Amino acid sequence: MTDLAHPVNAHAPATGPRPAFPDLRGQRVLITGATEGIGWAAVQAFAAQGARVVFNGRRTPEDLAPRLQALRADGGDAHFIAADIRHTAETERLVAEAVAWAGGLDTLVHNAGGLVARRPLAQIDDAFFDAVTDLNARSALHATRCALPHLAASARARGCSSAVILVGSVAGHTGGGPGAGLYGAAKAWLHNLVKHCVAFHTADGLRFNLVSPGTFDTAFHADKDAAARQRVSAGIPLGRFGQPAECAPAFLFLASPAASGYITGQCIEVNGGQFMP
């Protein structure tokens, strides 16, 4: 989507100087669900900092090769692995292959997730429940579980904390919009998963935090026409949808031990004022 097609974003800031996190250079980062939108913006942001980035999607995008070529031409280092992490075995394979390619793991950004479809509570059957929770909850649990020993080994070797960053949602706080109640519940579950991990895995040298996006200009909202977008934007104090690149600095900050080494168990809200806890 472009600002030209959706003028509610006419006042989105132009891309400016990138924030600098020198300690991210050489970091080994795995980002799940990152072939488009916020996930792809995170891949670009970490690569620009000099990190070694592994990212995944269920299938290989047709335009992946030129995007990777452009990223590498700018000095970035990224590697794609196709994996459907709704399934535990695929998640285990993804983490193992990521560690093998990068030589270890310092940061996990679990971005994989999605609405699946909008259904009111009366229409949620077992198959739909499984589809939503497998994508948004099961995948986060097992990605974190599989990454933990590698992140802990990195923390011991480097003498500084490793990071797990889960991607929540404003829906995890508000309960979700029409037909998104199960999605909102799955995202709220991530907040409790983080609290559990802080309580029982901080001693492993890990920090656990969330980034919680509001309404962003991604495929998630492709079903909204201009009038619907205008209505949603009117409820956001900044008056527009966010752009994916505007979420990326939150991931960089939470991955940097120098910038956020004393921050754990927290949620950074990136929502233009849409929700203020």
Catalytic residues: 169, 183, 187
Q: How far is CA 237 from the centre of its chain?
A: 23
Asked if residue 51 lies in contact with residue 21, where contact means CB atoms within 8 angstroms, the answer is no
| Rg of the chain (C-alpha set) | 18
What is the SS3 string spanning 55-120? EEECCCCCCHHHHHHHHHHCCCEEEEEECCCCCHHHHHHHHHHHHHHHCCCCEEEECCCCCCCCCC
